[in-house]
Structure 1
Amino acid sequence: MRRLSIPEDVTGLELDKAVRQELQSLPKTLADDVAKNLVMVARLLDEDAPRAYEHAKVALRLASRVGAVREAAGFAAYHTEKYQEALAEFRTARRMSGRPDLWPVMADCERGMGRPERALAMAGEPEVQRLDKAGQVEMRLVAAGARRDLGQPDAAVVTLQSPELASTAVHPWTARLRYAYADALLEVGREEDAREWFAKAVEADHEGLTDASDRLAELDGIEFTDALDPDSEEIEGDAADEVEEDAEAAAEVSGADFTDEDDPAVDDDEEEDEDGDEPRA
């Protein structure tokens, strides 16, 4: 089996205590290898999902009977849009652990596989009542997304309306909930309300989880220029050239040399001289 490169600073001790306890059922050397690959999955999941998926597959081959490994493999597949594979891993992990918290992401896998009606059915299952507040909010987000998948944007707006949305308290899920509500409002044509909720999402999004600030600026008609965009540099260069050309033209006009022929005042003076009048001091 091909081994993947792992930085020397990765020890495996970075994992949660509960995960490390699950790995204690393995021989120590094997447990260390699995732990290091799981750490790499967590590190790479958001910035390089394909590489995270490779590390998850290694861990899965080494320890397929560990629930935490199946869960990590599920999230790695989910982030690479392998929804059928992700759902299978999540189901296995849920059977092994008995925990309900994977229910919302399992429903979202159904959406990813083009089955929003299945996701809605899962949102109505008793299993949802076993979720903590964060899990219930996540389930609400998935259900609203399923409504929009089905072409029911008004129903999506209603689905997101909840005590959690109305609360002024800020939780880890607050920004995403407010953002989803703003986006749903925008789809049904309620632009002013959408702007208000994008602004509220910005207030709660301390970690930059959404692009609410960009969406708000877009509604306000503000355009940002990417300093690293070569196209924007070309536009700026053209504008600078135009300014330079205008400056040169202005300089030519201000420095022009008028001859006596062009100056009517000189003509008048010359005529007076010819009549014998003394020139004016």
Structure 2
Amino acid sequence: MPIPEDVTGEEIDKDVRQELQSLPKTLAEDVAKNLVMVARLIDEDPEGAYGYSRVALRLASRVAAVREAAGFAAYANQKYSEALAEFRAARRMTGGVELWPVMADCERGLGRPEKALDMAGAPEVQKLDKAGQVEMRLVAAGARRDMEQLDAAIVTLQSPELASNSVQPWTARLRYAYADALLAAGREGEAREWFAKAVEADRDGSTDASDRLAELDGVEFVDALDEGDDAPQDEAKSQDESAE
């Protein structure tokens, strides 16, 4: 797959670059460029990111960072079985637990919420950092909802992190998930309150909390382009009427 001229491979994280030092220099550079493309495209063009991840995997399947990138690219394309296999491979290579929550979410994607809940109660969760533990809580709540256990999902999300007034990278998503669970349970008033709190914390627009809040408030947005399209027609109609 073509690599844009502005991609040098130096854009990757220092830790990943260090992993690639086990490869011959030219090969390491090629792998690095493909990993850069995965990171660049994964949000807006997941299929493209997946293609680059497969190239990197073909070139360096024994590098943990490559297996992890391939896992996230497959995950972004809802290829959950493939993603889970790649995450497991990366975890075997590193011995770390960072991928535990996304591995559990792959189990959800494969229609196995019970397995995801088992993973939420595993010893590995205690080894996660705070962000990882919050992510695991989100996955567990999602698994409860998959099993139509709405009240249990709500309780799962109730935590010191949810109650905290400080805004962390996970705050908006946690509040959003709580609001969404409340709404699914028919608790609309509380849901509105938490969607509003999610909006306050969502500084980078990572959720559609503002749209959900507006929907609850009965606000309808009018497309400015549609209004613009109507204007010339209205003007022409007025001119016709004047001519008569």
TM-score (norm: length of structure 2): 0.94
In structure 2, what is the equivalent of residue 99 of structure 1?
96
| CA distance in 2 between partners of 1:106 and 1:198 (Å) | 28
Query: Do structure 1's residue 194 and structure 2's residue 188 form an aligned pair?
Result: no
* AA of the residue aligned to 2:107: E
In the alignment of these two chains, the number of paired residues is: 244
For 2:62 and 2:119, how far apart are their aligned partners in 1?
26
The structure showing larger relative contact order (alpha-carbon pairs under 8 Å, at least 6 residues apart) is 2
Alignment pair present for 1:68 and 2:100: no
Match of 1:237 among 200, 225, 230: 230
Q: Which of the residues 108, 111, 118 maps onto 2:108?
A: 111
- Are residues 1:163 and 2:157 paired? no
- List gaps (5 residues or longer) in structure 1: 253-281
CA 1:178–1:240: 2 relative to 1, 3 Å:
farther
Q: Is 1:90 aligned with 2:87? A: yes
Match 1:129 to one of 113, 126, 131: 126
- What residue in structure 2 maps to residue 33 of structure 1? 30
Quick one: which amino acid aligns to residue 17 of structure 1? K
Spell out structure 1 runs of 4+ moving beyond 6 A: none
* CA distance, structure 2, for counterparts of residue 147 and residue 238 of structure 1: 50
Distance in 2 between residues matched to 1:128 and 1:239, nearest whole Å: 61
1:17 lines up with 2:14 in the alignment? yes
**Which residue among 202, 205, 219 is the counterpart of 2:202?**
205
Matched, 1:215 2:212: yes
Q: For residue 56 of structure 2, what is the amino acid of its counterpart?
A: A
Q: What do the CA deviations read for 1:124-177 (whole angstroms, capped 9, x no partner)?
A: 001100000000000000000000000111110000000000000000000000
The one-letter code of the counterpart of 2:230 is: G
Q: Which residue of 1 aligns with 2:46?
A: 49
- Structure number with greater Rg is 1
Once the two structures are TM-superposed, the CA of residue 98 in structure 1 deviates from its matched residue by: 1.1
- d(CA) in 2 for partners of 1:93, 1:204: 33
> Comparing both structures, which one devotes a greater share of its residues to helix?
2
How far does residue 237 in structure 1 lie from its aligned partner after superposition?
A: 2.6
Deviations 1:79-108 (Å, cap 9, x if unpaired)?
Answer: 000000000000000010111110000000
2:169 corresponds to which letter in structure 1?
Answer: P
How far, CA to CA, are the matches of 1:243 and 1:109 in structure 2?
Answer: 57
Alpha-carbon distance change, 233 to 124 in structure 1, aligned in 2, over 3 angstroms: same
**Distance in 2 of aligned mates of 1:243 and 1:171:** 54
Q: TM-score, normalised by structure 1?
A: 0.82
- How far 1:227 moved relative to its partner? 3.6
Q: CA deviation at 1:110?
A: 0.3
Structure-2 separation of matches of 1:220 and 1:89: 43
Distance in 2 (CA, whole Å) between partners of 1:186 and 1:243 is 47
Structure 2 unaligned blocks of 5 or more: none
Q: Judging changes above 3 Å, is the alpha-carbon distance between structure 1 residues 222 and 31 closer, same or farther for their aligned structure 2 residues? A: same
1:241 deviates by 4.2
Paired with 1:109 and 1:9, the residues of 2 have a C-alpha distance of 34
Query: Equivalent residue of 1:24, what SS?
Result: helix
**Following the alignment from structure 1 to structure 2, what is the Cα–Cα distance between the partners of residues 183 and 147?**
13
Q: Secondary structure at the match of 2:7?
A: coil
Q: Distance in 1 between matches of 2:92 and 2:227?
A: 55
* Cα distance, 1:239 vs structure 2: 11
